[in-house]
Amino acid sequence: MNGEPPQPDQPPVKSLRQLARAEESCTRCPLYRDATQAVPGEGPSYAAFMLVGEQPGDKEDIAGRPFVGPAGRVLDQALHDAGIAREQTFVTNAVKHFKHEMRGKRRLHKRPNNDEIERCKIWLDFERSLVRPSTVIALGVTAARA
């Protein structure tokens, strides 16, 4: 209907850049409050493979990029062994903000709950519709749920 205000659940996202901005301003669940920033997916919009992890870790939260910490090294090795260049893949997470709890000065990873996964799914759906990968690989239980 003309004149209807945009729905918060349906932001106007037409590019990965717009998507990253929308994710950064997302408040659909509480996880944005304690994270440094949203961590958008990364890779070319024509990627054939989409790899979906659970959520950003401590290093990813600070860098604002997915799979740059220890998990990134494991992923790089796995891609190398499979003969797939990381540049040909789109890597992302089911949940875009880092969920953690403080243990002293350390931030310890905490698994996102079903509600957080469900609320964040809109961004993964946008990534899939923009990249249109032929293969989506879920890395772990959370990604498989999303």
Considering only 23, 54, 61, 127, the residue that binds ligand SF4 (CB under 6 A) is 23
Verify binding: residue 97, ligand SF4, rule CB under 6 A: yes
3-state secondary structure of 43: coil
Considering only 19, 20, 26, 50, the residue that binds ligand SF4 (CB under 6 A) is 26
Quote the Cα angle for 53-55-59, to 5°.
105
Verify binding: residue 29, ligand SF4, rule CB under 6 A: yes
Instruction: Tell me if 88 sits within 8 A of 98, measured CB to CB.
Output: no
Min dist. Cβ of residue 107 to ligand SF4 (A): 15
Considering only 50, 71, 120, 146, the residue that binds ligand SF4 (CB under 6 A) is 120
Cα separation, 91 vs 46, whole angstroms: 12
Beta strands in the chain (DSSP E): 49-53, 89-93, 100-103, 106-109, 135-138
Using the contact rule CB under 6 A, the part of the chain among 2-10, 20-28, 66-74, 83-91 near ligand SF4 is 20-28
Chain centroid offset of residue 64 CA? 10
Q: By CB under 6 A, name the binding residues for ligand SF4.
A: 23, 26-29, 31-32, 38, 95-97, 116, 119-120, 123
